[in-house]
Structure 1
């Protein structure tokens, strides 16, 4: 999509300059159009383009911020589950902490890649379901309420993270912005002075690059888990390392029910 924006902007610039070079002299018999008339015609169009780009950029940036916050909040909730497990019997504690490690691995390895295409993964749900199964056996335990509250928070933040993986800017709006950008650049190029316009051409080229860059940034930021500017699974990967380290330190040796990617290594008992 970025290639489309850049190529369209460049073609619009070239089209405007060619029109200015060959068509305008014939239309105006070699005379420059009045400067005030050009300003009155083009300024509103340029202002509209800039305002639209700024508005959509703010909206896309807000979606990116929500995605980043949701991923961090989910990691904090998972850390609370792992820490609250210290207050339950050993057998349940090991199961809860192992499920937390596997859940974090599944999110960072499996679900994160799927979110690049606006989709989730069923692998983390295996471990969240197992967590709830263990919680049912702890209803009389003092740590039960803490575990449930943290798990509800984790579930809510995961849902928010998945929601933000889809584009917040509709495709129709993006195409409208691109068409508006093309018309603006072409119009500015066509209305440049006919003589001694080298500085104007340079300024218009810079303006074209800036406007195209803003539209590319909007498209990139609007996909929080894909592109050059993306949210990485740093927070939940760090929680996975901490939970795994604490589990190994307390138990000595423990075989996790999952691999490095969070997928099951064996069938779980009913």
Structure 2
């Protein structure tokens, strides 16, 4: 049984229980009962639904913002590791040093100019980027240091290439959208219910009430758009920038 079917059954069951209890309780109310002595249920429910939906929106925004921050940290870690590779091969022989730095430049240029658009459009990394990084790793690991300085720098350079590879893998996991479909279902349904409940109140056509209703609806739409935009860290709008890779060139 899929989670959507379970969710639908749970929602229908809860609604049925609540309606049944209310109907049974209504039949037992005495004729002399005065409903004016109890608070307005509609206003109470509107307030509670608004509070609950505000909490859900806040958690969703916090989640996608944290995901964007993690993606930004992965990009910085990858770029920093590549920068360390270029800096530490300074003690290598000229031919090897230039070859390793050329590999780093080729990889950084491809990531900034090509792979970024692949992540934005398809939500995944490009196989060509993995090939370029493998070429860098091969040139680094196959070098046989002869001098003491080169021998001391060899293992740190290998470690930095491994760190760049690990950061690249983390970047790949953040390339696509992370918000599950069931969460989007809840956000959109909650927005429709929250905005729709405005019409259950005694709203009139005064300019002030219409303005507040319009601003409230616009705010809900803006927050949903913000969640959608932040849900793709390498998309458009508030996306993570590739400038740190261009700075390596």
Match of 1:21 in 2: none
Residue 164 (1) aligns with residue 174 (2):
yes
TM-score by length of 2: 0.78
CA shift, 1:35, in A, is: 8.3
Cross-structure match for 1:97: 101
Please state if 1:41 is matched with 2:45: yes
Q: Which residue of 2 aligns with 1:24?
A: none
Deviation at 1:128? Answer: 1.4
RMSD: 1.7
Instruction: Give the TM-score taking structure 1 as reference length.
Output: 0.72
Q: Aligned partners of 1:192 and 1:170: how far apart in 2?
A: 36
Q: Of 95, 105, 127, which aligns to 2:132? A: 127
Q: Which has the higher contact order (CA 8 A, sep 6+)?
A: 1
Q: Deviations over 1:115-141 (max 9, x none)?
A: 112111122222211122222333543
Superposed structure 1 runs of 4+ greater than 6 Å apart: none
Between Structure 1 and Structure 2, the one with more helix by share is 2
Counterpart position of 1:26:
none
SS at match of 1:142: helix
Which segments of 5 or more consecutive residues in structure 2 lack a partner in the other structure? Answer: 1-37, 146-150
| Cα distance in 1, alignment partners of residues 139 and 160 from structure 2 | 14
CA distances 1:127-162 after superposition (whole Å, capped 9, x unpaired) = 211122222333543211111111111111111111
Structure 1 position 207 matched with structure 2 position 216: yes
**Counterpart position of 1:110:** 114
Q: Secondary structure at the match of 1:239?
A: coil
Q: Which of 222, 230, 235 is equivalent to 2:244?
A: 235
Cα distance, 1:39 vs structure 2: 1.8
- Kindly indicate whether residue 156 of structure 2 is the aligned counterpart of residue 152 of structure 1: no
3-state DSSP class of the match of 2:175?
Answer: coil
CA contact (8 A) 2:141 2:158 kept: no
**Is the Cα–Cα contact under 8 Å of residues 192 and 200 in structure 1 kept in the other structure?**
no
Q: Which residue is equivalent to 1:61?
A: 65
> In the aligned structure 2, how far is the partner of 1:94 from the partner of 1:41?
69
Shift of 1:208: 0.8
Number of residue equivalences: 206
